[in-house]
């Protein structure tokens, strides 16, 4: 990173540390549901009282099993994705926690079938090919997922809370040595069981508008629809596919230059497109 910016490593560390301290940046870890069969990935659309919606969104964002939370443009709906730890966690959320929240009026839940890797390569067009080559000069090929170990839960939980946790602290949390914690984390990352990520308010990068599109496609056509020319565009930063009764949907998170540009964008290149609805995201809570 220092070479890419033309700065010294010390300058980069000195500048980045306060950004993590004041919450501008947040380091975390995200599990790959394909490597953790007990995980239940679901998408929720929650209708709330407008005067309480921020409180609900922040409460959801504080959960360790939350992947993202958005307040949608109408001001009375939240879109969120969870990776829940099994049926008990799902039932607790849907049958106890949400019904007990007075500000929540209703919700719909959708099972996530797949998340296409658009977000892993997303740069919003802010980085040139040369800068990408400098930041990722020689990406290591993925290895086979490592068999689960007893220390994995403690390691991943600690990294989810703070992705900058030291190996010494990881070892203390997992009851092992720092060397073992380092080797195990390296195996989890190389096996794509865990992805280390840094969260940031994208408005700070100049992306002031986000639109969430729910696109209904014919069952069995998800791969073809996701592989359309729309998918690799810099404006598409996430592409999860979920179920709804009798059909499947792709939910595309876009960063258009202006909300009106989404409505003007031609839809014909997407195969098997049945219908769509879209919302502007005014606030990212997580």
Element (H, E) at 160: helix 152-161
Q: Which residues, including other chains, have CB under 8 Å from residue 103's CB and lie 6 or more apart? A: 48, 49, 52, 53, 55, 56
Residue bearing the bigger pLDDT, 260 or 109: 109
CA separation for the pair 201, 185 (Å, rounded): 27
CA 195, 198, 203, 205: dihedral to nearest 10 degrees? -100
pLDDT in tens, 41-56: 999 999 999 999 999 9
Rounded to an integer, the average pLDDT of 228-243 is 66
How far, in Å, are 35, 125, 241, 275, 285 from residue 235 at the CA level? 28, 8, 18, 20, 20
Return the pLDDT at 259: 47
10 Å CB burial of residue 154 (0-12, 13-18, 19+) is middle
Does 240 have pLDDT greater than 60? yes
CA separation for the pair 188, 151 (Å, rounded): 12
Return the pLDDT at 233: 63
Residue 269 pLDDT level (bands cut at 50, 70, 90) = low
Q: Specify whether the CB–CB gap between 219 and 247 falls below 8 A.
A: yes
Does 230 have pLDDT greater than 50? no
Neighbours of 227 (CB within 10 A): 12
Topology of 33-113 in CATH? Alpha-Beta Plaits (3.30.70)
Rounded to an integer, the average pLDDT of 198-217 is 79
Residue 228 pLDDT level (bands cut at 50, 70, 90) = low
Residue bearing the bigger pLDDT, 145 or 159: 159
Q: Which residues, including other chains, have CB under 8 Å from residue 204's CB and lie 6 or more apart? A: 24
Diameter of the chain by CA atoms? 56
Q: Where in the chain is the domain with CATH 3.30.70.920?
A: 33-113
Residue 236 pLDDT level (bands cut at 50, 70, 90) = confident
Return the pLDDT at 136: 73
% of the chain exceeding 90 in pLDDT: 39
Rounded to an integer, the average pLDDT of 29-37 is 89
10 Å CB burial of residue 195 (0-12, 13-18, 19+) is middle
Give the highest mean pLDDT range of 143-147, 220-224, 228-232, 243-247: 143-147
Element (H, E) at 43: strand 39-48
pLDDT in tens, 65-119: 998 888 887 788 999 999 999 999 999 999 999 999 999 999 999 888 877 766 6
Return the pLDDT at 125: 75
- Worst-scoring range by mean pLDDT, 72-76, 146-150, 259-263, 267-271? 259-263
Rounded to an integer, the average pLDDT of 182-208 is 87
Return the pLDDT at 250: 47
Read off the tokens for 110.
């959708």
Q: Specify whether the CB–CB gap between 74 and 47 falls below 8 A.
A: no
Topology of 115-127+203-284 in CATH? Alpha-Beta Plaits (3.30.70)
pLDDT in tens, 110-151: 888 877 766 666 777 778 888 878 887 666 677 777 788 899
Among 167, 164, 195, which residue's Cα sits nearest to residue 181? Answer: 167
Q: Which residues, including other chains, have CB under 8 Å from residue 9's CB and lie 6 or more apart? A: 2
Three-class SS state of 222: helix
Does 26 have pLDDT greater than 80? yes
Average pLDDT score over the chain: 80
């Amino acid at each position: 990173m220092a070479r890419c910016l033309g700065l010294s490593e010390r300058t980069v560390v000195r500048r980045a540390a306060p950004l993590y301290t004041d919450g501008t940046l947040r380091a975390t870890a995200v599990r790959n549901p394909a490597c953790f069969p007990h995980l239940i990935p679901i998408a929720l659309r929650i209708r709330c009282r407008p005067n309480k919606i921020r409180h609900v969104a922040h409460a959801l964002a504080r959960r360790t099993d939350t992947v993202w939370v958005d307040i949608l443009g109408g001001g009375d709906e939240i879109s969120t994705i969870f990776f829940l730890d099994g049926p008990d966690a799902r039932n607790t959320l849907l049958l106890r926690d949400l019904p007990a929240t007075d500000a929540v009026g209703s919700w719909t839940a959708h099972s996530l079938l797949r998340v296409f890797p658009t977000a892993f390569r997303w740069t919003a067009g802010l980085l040139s090919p040369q800068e990408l080559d400098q930041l990722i000069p020689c990406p290591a090929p993925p290895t086979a997922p490592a068999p689960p170990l007893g220390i994995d839960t403690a390691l991943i939980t600690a990294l989810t809370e703070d992705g900058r946790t030291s190996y010494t602290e990881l070892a203390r949390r997992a009851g092992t040595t720092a060397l073992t914690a380092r080797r195990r984390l390296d195996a989890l990352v190389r096996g794509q069981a865990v992805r280390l990520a840094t969260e940031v308010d994208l408005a700070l990068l100049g992306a002031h508008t986000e639109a969430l599109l729910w696109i209904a496609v014919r069952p069995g056509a998800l791969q073809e629809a996701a592989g359309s020319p729309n998918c690799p565009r810099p404006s598409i930063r996430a592409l999860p596919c979920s179920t709804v009764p009798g059909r499947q949907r792709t939910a595309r998170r876009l960063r258009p230059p202006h909300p009106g540009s989404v409505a003007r964008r031609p839809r014909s290149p997407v195969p098997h497109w049945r219908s769509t609805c879209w919302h502007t995201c005014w606030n990212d809570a997580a």
